[in-house]
């Protein structure tokens, strides 16, 4: 099973407007999967403590940073998220010459969360993920069923000054620095000959497998995947559609422009069907370290029928209850072996209400249009308020401890009136 799913984007000056980094991702997952938006504060840990990831337990670090995550409700990791240092990460499924089948290890989504919890810059996140790959490997089913759906991972990582593309094949990897302009990744390898960091054994391994002759210029995508560079760049792929949408807005990429891209159905970026866009994220991160970043999440499927709601890192930020799914603890079927013998109801309160509204929008054209207009107006009003703190900073942190939840309540209010 090789679905075309997920797209991650970043725009840096001069492609973005103002001195801001704009990050965005659509998470395309099984259509019945619930994605939750959760916040975890920074924490300190003892020297012997462990962290229980989706399938395996690993050593915990002394300190983890505060994170906000959009994640499939059944697993530990995340599809995308940000941390208090304004590092943003999204991952993509990729397949290549190296088999993705293997023992349970860290999921790519676990690596997203671990990178955010442990790194205060994009480059450090590359190093964190690379070290974890080397020590623990990647593997395990990436769906909440017995389908053995597995893949390798690529990552797009940004901070206040730059972005990195990190692509993996088993424990081997290559990374490319992006210092200006825009970049997008989809479900294919995209690093070619510009490699700024790499696994020390990556080239030797490729040569031992007969994938590279050791003499010609090393091209990561060509060597480790089945695609030539020409095919990667060929017209018609979702990667090229995303690149084209960025190019059309080049020099004027804003949060609104990124949301429009994520809502684009003609390109396939806003995916429908058995695999669909189950959650979306857009982040606005000023290059000025004195200013806060604003991170928008839907917490619901299909961004065209959802509201991007803002989250800002402030001290004492509250739990995001309306977008947190039920916890089943050690009785969760994911934790019991054999795994996935049943599938509990993981719908969070916002998901339940949104599911009804989405059905109304689908079934009743005029009524649905009115609902969508009201949701867009709600979104615009929130974004207008966020422009103020993006310009001058957070003056009263306590005013923002419930920011995301208050926006969810306003969204639920629109649903109730409907």
- In tens, the pLDDT along 55-67 reads 999 999 999 999 9
Residue 100 reports pLDDT greater than 90: no
Give the per-residue pLDDT at 4. 59
Global pTM reads: 0.96
> What is d(CA 66, CA 313) in angstroms, rounded to the nearest whole number?
8
User: Which runs of E-coded beta strand occur in 244-377?
Assistant: 275-286, 294-297, 309-311
What does the pLDDT average to over 325-331?
Answer: 95
CA atoms within 13 A on the CB side of 62: 1
- Most confident region among 27-31, 185-189, 404-408 by mean pLDDT: 404-408
Residue 331 reports pLDDT greater than 70: yes
- In tens, the pLDDT along 333-379 reads 999 999 999 999 999 999 999 999 999 999 999 999 999 999 999 99
- In tens, the pLDDT along 16-44 reads 999 999 999 999 999 999 999 999 999 99
6 assigned to active site = yes
Residue 69 φ then ψ, to 5°: -130, 145
6, 53, 88, 142: the active-site residue: 6
Give the per-residue pLDDT at 418. 80
Give the per-residue pLDDT at 149. 84
Q: Residue 342: which residues within 8 A CB-CB, separation 6 or more?
A: 333
CA atoms within 13 A on the CB side of 46: 3
Give the per-residue pLDDT at 1. 42
Roughly what angle, to the nearest 10 degrees, separates helices 255-262 and 238-248? Answer: 150
Largest CA distance in the chain: 67
Residue 230 reports pLDDT greater than 70: no
Helical H segments across 5-146, by residue range: 108-118, 122-136
Q: What average pLDDT is seen over the chain?
A: 94
Residue 268 reports pLDDT greater than 70: yes
> What is d(CA 171, CA 108) in angstroms, rounded to the nearest whole number?
12
Residue 3 reports pLDDT greater than 90: no
User: Which runs of E-coded beta strand occur in 56-190?
Assistant: 57-59, 63-64, 67-72, 80-83, 88-94, 152-158, 163-169, 172-178, 182-185
Question: What CATH number matches the domain at 5-415, 3.40.50.261, 3.10.590.10, 3.30.1370.10, 3.60.60.10?
Answer: 3.60.60.10
CA atoms within 13 A on the CB side of 278: 24
SS3 183: strand
What does the pLDDT average to over 185-198?
Answer: 94
Residue 232 reports pLDDT greater than 60: no
- In tens, the pLDDT along 129-147 reads 999 999 999 999 999 987 7
What does the pLDDT average to over 172-190?
Answer: 96
The pairing of beta strand 197-198 with beta strand 182-185:
unpaired
What does the pLDDT average to over 384-389?
Answer: 97
Residue 286: CB atoms within 10 A of its CB come to 19
pLDDT over 70 for what percent of the chain? Answer: 96
Q: Residue 149: which residues within 8 A CB-CB, separation 6 or more?
A: 1, 141, 142, 143
Domain boundaries, the chain: 5-415
Is 226 or 411 the better-scoring residue by pLDDT? Answer: 411
Residue 229 reports pLDDT greater than 60: no
């Amino acid at each position: 099973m090789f679905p075309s799913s997920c797209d991650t984007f970043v725009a840096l000056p001069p492609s973005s407007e103002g001195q801001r980094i704009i990050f965005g991702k659509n998470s395309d997952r099984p259509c019945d999967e619930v994605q939750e938006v959760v916040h975890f504060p920074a924490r300190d840990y003892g020297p012997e403590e462990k962290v229980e990831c989706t399938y395996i337990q690993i050593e915990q670090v002394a300190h983890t940073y505060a994170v906000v995550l959009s994640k499939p409700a059944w697993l530990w990791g995340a599809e995308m998220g940000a941390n208090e240092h304004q590092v943003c990460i999204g991952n993509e499924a990729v397949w290549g010459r190296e088999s993705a089948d293997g023992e349970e290890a860290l999921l790519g989504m676990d690596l997203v969360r671990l990178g955010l919890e442990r790194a205060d810059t994009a480059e450090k996140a590359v190093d964190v993920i690379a070290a974890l790959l080397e020590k623990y490997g990647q593997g395990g089913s990436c769906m909440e069923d017995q389908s053995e759906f597995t893949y390798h991972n690529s990552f797009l990582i940004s901070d206040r000054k730059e972005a990195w593309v990190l692509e993996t094949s088993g424990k081997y990897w290559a990374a490319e620095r992006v210092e200006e302009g825009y970049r997008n990744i989809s479900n294919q390898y995209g690093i070619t000959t510009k490699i700024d960091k790499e696994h020390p054994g990556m080239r030797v391994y490729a040569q031992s497998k007969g994938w590279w002759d050791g003499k010609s210029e090393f091209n990561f995508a060509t060597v480790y995947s089945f695609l030539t560079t020409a095919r990667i760049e060929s017209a018609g792929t979702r990667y090229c559609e995303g690149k084209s949408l960025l190019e059309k807005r080049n020099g004027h990429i804003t949060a609104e422009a990124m949301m429009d891209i994520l809502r684009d159905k003609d390109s396939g970026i806003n995916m429908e069907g058995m695999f669909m866009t189950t959650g979306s994220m857009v982040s606005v991160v000023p290059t000025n370290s004195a200013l806060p970043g604003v991170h928008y999440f839907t917490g619901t499927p299909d961004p065209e029928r959802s509201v991007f709601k803002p989250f800002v890192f402030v001290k004492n930020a509250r739990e995001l209850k309306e977008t947190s799914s039920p916890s089943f603890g050690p009785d969760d079927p994911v934790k019991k072996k054999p795994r996935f013998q049943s599938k509990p109801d993981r719908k969070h309160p916002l998901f339940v209400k949104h599911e009804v509204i989405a059905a109304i929008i689908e079934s009743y054209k005029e009524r649905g249009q009115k609902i969508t207009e009201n949701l867009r107006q709600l979104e615009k009003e929130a974004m207008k308020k966020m422009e103020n703190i993006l310009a001058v900073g957070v003056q009263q942190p306590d005013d923002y401890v419930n920011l995301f939840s208050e926006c969810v309540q306003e969204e639920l209010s629109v649903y109730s009136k409907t």
